[in-house]
Amino acid sequence: MSGANVAAMAGAGAAVAAAAAAAAKMREEEEKLTTYNKDDMDGWEFKIVRANSRYFKKPENLKQVCEEEAKAGWEMVEKFDDSRVRFKRRTDKRGSDQFLQEIDPYRSLVGIGNAQLVITILGVIALSIGVILAGVFYFRSIN
- Write down the domain spans for the chain: 1-32+113-143, 34-111
- E strands, 10-142, are 44-51, 75-81, 84-90, 109-110
Given this model, what pLDDT does residue 73 score? 95
Contact call for residues 62 and 87 (beta carbons, < 8 A): no
Q: Which residues of the chain have pLDDT under 70?
A: 1-13, 15-16, 19-20, 22-23, 25-27, 29-36, 112-118, 120, 143
User: Where does residue 129 rank: exposed (0-12), middle (13-18), buried (19+ CB within 10 A)?
Assistant: middle
Instruction: Indicate yes or no: pTM above 0.75.
Output: no
Those residues whose C-beta lies under 8 Å from the C-beta of residue 66, and which sit 6 or more positions away, are 76, 85
DSSP-derived letter for residue 5 is: H
pLDDT, one tens digit per residue, over 28-40 is 766 666 666 777 7
Beta bridge partners of 44: 90
